[in-house]
Structure 1
Amino acid sequence: MLTILLVRSGLTEYDCQGRIQGTLDVPLSGEGRQQATATAEELAARGATIDALYAGPCLGAQQTAEVLANKLKLKPKTLKTLHNLDQGLWQGMLFDDVKSKQPKVFRQWQERPDTVCPPEGETVREATDRLKAAIAKLTKKHKSGTIALVLSQPLASVLRCMLQAGGQPPTLCQSACVGKPLWEPIELASAI
């Protein structure tokens, strides 16, 4: 049985500013670096056995993966298909600006993100299809054991919903994940 250790990247500077990050390369904030270090230390203390470590190509996911790799003696591999949800023209904007300029769309985006596509962006369905293809390739390569995937938010929530039966619609802002664990194991045999 294959287990995916889903690791949400630490907070970035954009998360701290309340901005929509999408596929933009934004470094971890000081708090994000602390989150990555705490996650690595917690996994090491639990004696986590990870066979492979994969990360999305954005800077926050890469920096989080590097911290994990150093602590857990792993070599991170970048998968371009694990890039964050493309938020199109909303990338870089403050959540509050989108909310004030397009209140109805913003509310729908928060309540039913699968029904909204930011201008020139990617739908949750497109991201889910991309993730399904990536997971299919990984499950061919890794039949059992544990692989860690470091993903930015909201892509981490999209993957979580995709893999867990009865998953809730994904949360599209990092602030909704504050206080939640940065990692969780998902067993594929029971999730698919």
Structure 2
Amino acid sequence: MPTHHQTRICFVRHGETDWNVQKRMQGHTDIPLNAHGVMQAERLAKALLRTGHRFDCIYSSDLERAFHTAKTIAQPHSMEITAHPDLRERHVGKLQGLLLADAPQLEPELWQRHLVRDLDFDLGGGESIVQFHDRMKRMLDHLLMKHTGEQILAVSHGGALDMIYRIVTQQALDAERVAVVPNTSLNWIAHDGNTWSIERWGDTSHLTDSVLDNIEI
């Protein structure tokens, strides 16, 4: 458990969706979990119970794929979930709904500016990287202020967790992505009263270990 001055957040990426499998850009599009995603969320909930993790509060993006994941985790603890739109994925404007394979042909200029990480470009009605950064930073500050010294679980999205990683490690916003964020991975950060640090990132050990749970011996 955290010491009195340490605040810990376990960020979870939602379970898999059909659009994840198709490599279709979701952004704010409200896509439900697929059957595999539901199973991932259930395995994660079991693993958190088994390892005895206790959370003081549970937050989630208000998009269905995240909220369903959060609900699955919260259920055994009978905990309420605080849905917060600041935990949403980046709004990717005209790229929303496009396959990664098709986007370069359908929106060539837009795609180019997306690739070079043009910081102030809003992708045709979406969020710029700078706006997205400011939103995730605001969320982090909010959680720290409201829940100092507590242990928090927050269910969010791949791009959002990449941004959290950048903020915590002070990685440049226009640098290439280095953080890997698999579906239902656990991503722990801690604040010691002065600064944030990464404790453990991209942990999916529960998805392999718990396969054994299904074997009848």
- Whichever residue aligns with residue 186 of structure 1, its letter is I
Whether 2:130 is the aligned partner of 1:125: answer yes
Query: For residues 82-121 of structure 1, what are the structure 2 equivalents within 5 Å?
Result: 82-102=87-107, 106=111, 109-110=114-115, 112=117, 114=119, 117-121=122-126
Calculate the TM-score normalised by the size of structure 2.
Answer: 0.76
Larger radius of gyration: 2
- The structure richer in helix per residue is 1
Q: Flag structure 2 segments of 5+ consecutive residues without an equivalent.
A: 1-5, 198-217
Distance 1:37 1:140, change over 3 A: same
Contact 1:56–1:83 (CA under 8 A) maintained in structure 2: yes
- Deviation of residue 6 (structure 1)? 0.7
* Matching residue within 190, 197, 200 for 1:187: 190
Alpha carbons 2:18, 2:33 under 8 Å: kept: yes
Distance 2:33 2:172 in 1: 28
Query: Which residue identity does 2:142 align to in structure 1?
Result: K
CA drift at 1:77: 0.9
Counterparts of 1:1-192 in structure 2, within 5 Å, are 1-102=6-107, 106=111, 109-110=114-115, 112=117, 114=119, 117-166=122-171, 169=175, 171=177, 177-178=181-182, 182-189=185-192, 190-191=195-196
Name whichever of 46-55 and 154-163 sits farther off.
154-163
Q: Which 10-residue stretch deviates more, 134-143 or 61-70?
A: 134-143
Q: What amino acid does structure 1 have at the position aligned with 2:43?
A: A
